[in-house]
């Protein structure tokens, strides 16, 4: 069968890598892909938001299965459009994608169905929002409603910072219409964790746990990034926590899907804060996480194409997900300056010198005349499986110095608990 993967990051390279292992697959296309996907798929020069072009491509090339990486096309209804045209596609439909596309929708969903989350108020008017700050303690969290490339959340230590953030979103409109409605939310203290799940016919089936590293510097210092390292499983997850999440969160979300008439089929990625009282939901995403995908797919023994197909048909069962009892670690090498300004187009050398048991996923690279160049803030994810976390981590750090590009940076403490 012919598969089309939409997106261009490490997540999409990882999905292509896993899909390529399926015996049922004869050809993979990736739109637009990167220097890594090019090795196993044919890169197609169409961007994820060009839904009509993607649809035409899929129809003209008789694509049997399309897999959507990023959230934007899901929120814009790519799944509805493909299905209307008789195409099979893995991802949530437009209604369900509101759980990520609108933070207000997500908060109302949680409130209505008794899912533990931070206390909040929503505002469409600046003066009322400024008044509303008075109802909260500090720090306070201010969130833009719509998609903001992961930059729409500001944690404010004082009222002055709160007013500044509100002006930023509502007056200066730095996030455009995504900031027309804002949320002011109680700051939760605790340990963050995320849980990726398949959802098939409204039934939530969690994947193995993972822990990601969001800050750019060792010891979780410095600004937030898209994620610069990750490992699986996450030792924070134990039977007690899993039971609690199942009863207090997952089953209530399932009820919510039914009550709201959401025909949820695809991925649900739940951002959690494990507070001292209980786990609470920070946010929902409706697609695979990056870098979580890079450490989950190598541990998944089952055929991912079977899983996608069963999910689409509403038939996926927990037993369909078989996981290797091994640990997986990934360390992301980034361009100097990321998550701020950085250069692109630096040649990457040494990629051919790595040990066989290193799995290399490309995040932001481009291939030109057989050479590989940087093409993003996150550049490559050096990944390894091991019987222990130590083993996997040591193998990565033994190999990473063989790779070089101008400005290359990576955290030295990934995998340290
Ligand atoms: N209520 C909250 N209390 C404490 N920290 C929060 C809260 N909401 C968000 N955060 C922090 O901000 C980050 C981004 O918020 P999130 O809701 O995940 O939005 P997005 O990923 O769309 O930017 C979270 O990962 C968390 O670190
Ligand atoms: Mg988030």
Per-residue pLDDT of the chain (417 residues; tens, 9 = 90+): 999 999 999 999 999 999 999 999 999 999 999 999 999 999 999 999 999 999 999 999 999 999 999 999 999 999 999 999 999 999 999 999 999 999 999 999 999 999 999 999 999 999 999 999 999 999 999 999 999 988 899 999 999 999 999 999 999 999 999 999 999 999 999 999 999 999 999 999 999 999 999 999 999 999 999 999 999 999 999 999 999 999 999 999 999 999 999 999 999 999 999 999 999 999 999 999 999 999 999 999 999 999 999 999 999 999 999 999 999 999 999 999 999 999 999 999 999 999 999 999 999 999 999 999 999 999 999 999 999 999 999 999 999 999 999 999 999 999 987
In what order do the strands lie in the sheet containing 279-285?
203-206, 191-200, 266-274, 279-285
Q: Is 230:212 a contact under the CB 8 Å cutoff?
A: yes
Name the token pair of 38: 């090019």
Note the ligand closest to the C-alpha atom of 269. Answer: 2
pLDDT of residue 417: 73
The atom number, within ligand 1, closest to the CA of 186 reads: 1
For residue 381, the tally of other CB atoms under 10 A from its CB is 32
CA-148 nearest atom, ligand 1: 22
Rg of the chain taking only CA atoms, in angstroms:
21
Q: Which ligand is nearest to the CA of 119?
A: 1
Query: Which residue has its alpha carbon closest to ligand 1 atom 22?
Result: 150
CA-to-CA separations, 392 to 188, 259, 362, in angstroms, rounded: 33, 44, 19
CA distances to 60, 81, 283, 317, 354 from 76, in Å: 22, 9, 19, 28, 40
Close Cβ partners of 183 (under 8 Å, ≥ 6 residues apart): 103, 104, 107, 120, 121, 122, 123, 141, 142, 143, 145
Spacing, Cα 192 to ligand 1 middle (Å): 9
Contact (CB, 8 A) for 385 and 392: yes
CB 286 within 8 A of CB 92: yes
Q: Do 348 and 404 meet the contact criterion of CB atoms below 8 Å apart?
A: yes
pLDDT of residue 150: 85
Ligand 1: nearest atom to the Cα of 188: 3
Q: Which atom of ligand 1 is nearest to the CA of 187?
A: 3
Q: What is the pLDDT of residue 181?
A: 97
Strand partners, 68: 6
pLDDT of 311 reads: 98
Structure tokens at 61: 């090339």
Q: How far apart are the first and last CA of the chain?
A: 42
Q: Would you say 178 and 186 are in contact if contact means Cβ atoms under 8 Å apart? A: no
Which residue's CA lies nearest to atom 21 of ligand 1?
150
| Ligand 1 proximal residues by C-beta, below 6 Å | 118, 141, 150, 152-153, 185-188, 192, 271, 282-283
pTM of the model: 0.97
362 bridge partner residues: 380
Q: Identify the residue whose C-alpha is closest to ligand 1 atom 24.
A: 282
């Amino acid at each position: 069968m012919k598969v089309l993967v939409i997106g261009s990051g490490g997540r999409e390279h990882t999905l292509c890598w896993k899909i390529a292992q399926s015996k049922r697959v004869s050809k993979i296309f990736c739109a637009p892909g990167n220097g890594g996907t090019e090795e196993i798929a044919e890169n197609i020069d169409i961007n994820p938001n060009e839904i009509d072009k993607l649809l035409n491509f899929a129809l003209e090339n008789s694509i049997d299965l399309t897999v959507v990486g990023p959230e934007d096309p899901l929120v814009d209804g790519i799944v509805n459009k493909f299905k209307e045209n008789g195409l099979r596609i893995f991802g949530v439909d437009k209604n369900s994608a509101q759980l990520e596309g609108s933070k207000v929708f997500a908060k109302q969903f949680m409130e209505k169905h008794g899912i533990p989350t931070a206390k909040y108020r929503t505002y469409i008017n600046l003066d009322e929002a400024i008044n509303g700050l008075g109802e909260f303690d500090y720090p306070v969290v201010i969130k833009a409603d719509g998609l903001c490339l992961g930059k729409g959340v500001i944690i404010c230590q004082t009222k002055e910072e709160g007013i500044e953030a509100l002006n930023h979103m509502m007056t200066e409109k730095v996030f455009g219409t995504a900031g027309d409605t804002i949320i002011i939310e109680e700051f939760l203290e605790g340990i963050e964790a995320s849980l990726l799940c398949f959802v098939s016919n409204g039934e939530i089936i969690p994947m193995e746990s993972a822990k990601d590293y969001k800050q750019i510097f060792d010891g979780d210092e410095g600004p937030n990034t898209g994620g610069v390292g990750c490992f699986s499983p996450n030792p924070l997850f134990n039977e007690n926590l899993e039971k609690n999440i199942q009863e207090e969160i997952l089953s209530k979300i399932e009820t919510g899907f039914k009550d709201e008439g959401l025909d949820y089929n695809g991925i649900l990625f739940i951002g959690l804060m494990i507070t001292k009282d209980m786990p609470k939901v920070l946010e929902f995403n409706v697609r695979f996480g990056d870098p979580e995908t890079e450490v989950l797919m190598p541990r998944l023994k089952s055929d991912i194409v079977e899983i996608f197909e069963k999910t689409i048909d509403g038939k996926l069962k927990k037993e369909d997900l078989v996981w290797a009892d091994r640990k997986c670690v990934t360390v992301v090498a980034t361009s100097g300056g990321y998550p701020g300004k950085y250069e692109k187009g630096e040649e990457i050398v040494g990629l051919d010198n790595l040990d066989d048991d290193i799995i290399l996923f490309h995040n932001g690279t481009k291939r030109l005349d057989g050479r590989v160049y940087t093409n993003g803030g996150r550049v490559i994810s050096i990944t390894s499986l091991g019987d222990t976390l130590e083993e996997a981590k040591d193998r990565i750090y033994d190999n990473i110095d063989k790779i070089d590009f101008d400005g290359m940076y990576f955290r030295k403490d990934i995998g340290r608990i």
